[in-house]
Amino acid sequence: MEKTLKRNRGQHDSLSDKIVRYRGVLLVIALPLLLITFLLFLSRSPSDSVGSLNRKFSPNFGSNKYAVIFDAGSSGSRVHVFCFDQNLDLVPIGNNLELFHQLKPGLSAYPTDPEAAANSIKPLLEKAEAVVPQPLHPNTPVRVGATAGLRQLEGDAPDRILQAVRDFLKSKSSLKSQPDWVTVLDGSQEGAYEWVTINYLLGNLGKEYSETVGVVDLGGGSVQMAYAISESDAQKAPKLSDPEDKYVQEMYLKGRKYYLYVHSYLHYGLLAARAEILKVTENSGNPCILAGYSGSYKYGGAIYSASPLPYGSNMKSCRDVSIMALKVNESICTSMKCTFGGVWNGGGGDGQRNLFVASFFFDRAAEVGFINATAAPVAKVRPADFESAARDACETGLEDAKSKYTSVSADNLPYLCMDLVYQFTLLVDGFGIDPQQEITLVKQVEYQNSFVEAAWPLGSALEVVS
């Protein structure tokens, strides 16, 4: 009976009785826990609580990165603003996948006034800064890439203009700038960036080189060709006199190595080529000038006579002069196969099979109406289409052309026959493209249900944020 009573009491012990009874066990468990908690408290940064408040009430821009790229071309200045996520996919800025604005003239229009050249980009800079979130300004790179227009200025004019732009960005902009981010792009850089841009937008990067597209970019001062080639063709590339100048660049993109053939032809952009064509006939009449025009053409600080022959412009004669300007038959080709001017053509191959042709090619085609630019910023054509359009233009006098080609500006109209003939000659005689081969004229490329400018600045932006 006594044993039963003790067992019943034990069943009804209070919580305090249990704590007293097992206090030794509890102390063994609790002391290490208390020690760990104390050490964790000491290791906390005193600013943690403040930081957590700041994070709670500060705007969160995630891992997005912005880049501001100025394209300082011969025909004008343009600004591109891009935003990338952590996977380097483009993120919309407002309703578009980039901010794009342009103005004329370009930096090269101020050869004797560097400060005026730098100040000319101020309206574009203000538009760019307005779309980049203020807290991200200090970490957002701004690059200025000058192209052929500035390359062709004489003396120290290019260096003085570039330094004025560096000083302008340092004093007037809250974006991140570095001296070596304001440069004259060499033609190879421009062509490589253009190739990266178009293949990035098409989703080709990371695929076999044979699945990429080649690019021809006709600017105002120069024209670039770039396309991926096989490793075996890359090993056949001729050595150039300047060891820093190469026909082939090795690029690692999306986990794949590419051998990129790229070459830039200075003096053979559309505006520069006019000067080269006029040089052939010097002070006599030129068969590429529309009848009814008599004047002069100014380019790169020089002035050229621009008068037609008595019978006006002529398609065949203009083509003969264009071939002479390209020096197709005059230069010695020391490689297995050349384009023009004795330049190696890269060997051809699958990377050149699908060709995207940009800039002035698209513009002139749209202006004369053999593509509909309002329907889409991309169109499939053939080089022969430029020949057909050139034939029509060359048979038209200046007065009739004013009513026939209403989309062509007044300052370009006298040279319409010349421009179209040159574009056909460049593709067929210069680059050796079959007149009936299908090519893609492109101004913008569709990407994620939006259209993005098919221009080199996106390639530069991808490099600077990577």
| Structure token digits, residue 390 | 């050139």
pLDDT given for residue 402 in this prediction: 97
- 71 pairs with which residues across the strands? 78, 145
Burial of 211 by CB count in 10 Å (0-12 exposed, 13-18 middle, 19+ buried)?
A: middle
| Structure token digits, residue 187 | 């033609």
**Calpha distance 279→327 (Å, rounded):** 12
**Cα-Cα-Cα-Cα dihedral sign, residues 231, 235, 237, 243:** positive
pLDDT given for residue 52 in this prediction: 30
Contacts of 320 (CB under 8 A, 6+ apart): 287
Beta strand 248-253 with 256-266 is: antiparallel
Provide the H-helix boundaries in 369-408: 383-394, 398-404
Core vs surface per residue 332-350: b (16+ CB within 10 A) or e: eeebeebbbbebbbbbebb
pLDDT given for residue 16 in this prediction: 55
Provide the H-helix boundaries in 296-359: 315-326, 350-353
pLDDT given for residue 13 in this prediction: 55
Assigned CATH topology for domain 270-447? Nucleotidyltransferase; domain 5 (3.30.420)
Contacts of 408 (CB under 8 A, 6+ apart): 367, 368, 401, 416
Measured CA distances, 92 to 66, 131, 461 (Å) = 11, 11, 15
HEC profile of 160-172: HHHHHHHHHHHHH
Question: CATH second-level architecture of 65-185?
Answer: 2-Layer Sandwich (3.30)
pLDDT given for residue 435 in this prediction: 98
Q: Is the entire prediction scored with pTM above 0.95?
A: no
Core vs surface per residue 139-151: b (16+ CB within 10 A) or e: ebbbbbbbbbbbb
Query: Could you tell me which of 347, 334, 338, 332 has the C-alpha nearest to residue 235?
Result: 347
pLDDT given for residue 463 in this prediction: 87
pLDDT given for residue 188 in this prediction: 87
**Calpha distance 289→307 (Å, rounded):** 6
What residues does each domain of the chain span? Answer: 11-44, 65-185, 270-447
**Beta carbons within 10 angstroms of residue 442's beta carbon:** 24
**Cα-Cα-Cα-Cα dihedral sign, residues 441, 445, 451, 453:** negative
- Amino acid letter, 333: C
Contacts of 401 (CB under 8 A, 6+ apart): 290, 393, 408, 413, 416
pLDDT given for residue 290 in this prediction: 98
CB-CB contact of 75 with 150 (8 Å): no
Core vs surface per residue 301-331: b (16+ CB within 10 A) or e: eeebbbbbbeebbbbebbbebbbbbbebeee
Q: Tens-digit pLDDT profile for the chain (466 aa)?
A: 444 444 444 445 555 555 556 555 555 555 555 554 544 444 444 333 323 323 323 344 568 999 999 999 888 999 999 999 988 899 999 888 899 999 999 999 999 999 999 999 999 999 999 999 999 999 999 999 998 778 778 899 999 999 999 999 999 999 999 999 999 988 889 899 999 999 999 999 999 999 999 999 998 888 999 999 999 999 999 988 776 678 999 998 888 999 999 999 989 999 999 999 999 998 799 999 999 999 999 997 899 999 999 999 999 999 999 999 999 876 677 767 889 988 999 999 999 999 999 999 999 999 999 999 999 999 999 999 999 999 999 999 999 999 999 999 999 999 999 999 999 999 999 999 999 999 999 999 999 888 888 989 999 999 898 7
**Calpha distance 67→461 (Å, rounded):** 6
CA angle 152, 460, 264 (to 5 degrees): 40
**Beta carbons within 10 angstroms of residue 49's beta carbon:** 10
Q: Which residues are known catalytic residues? A: 190
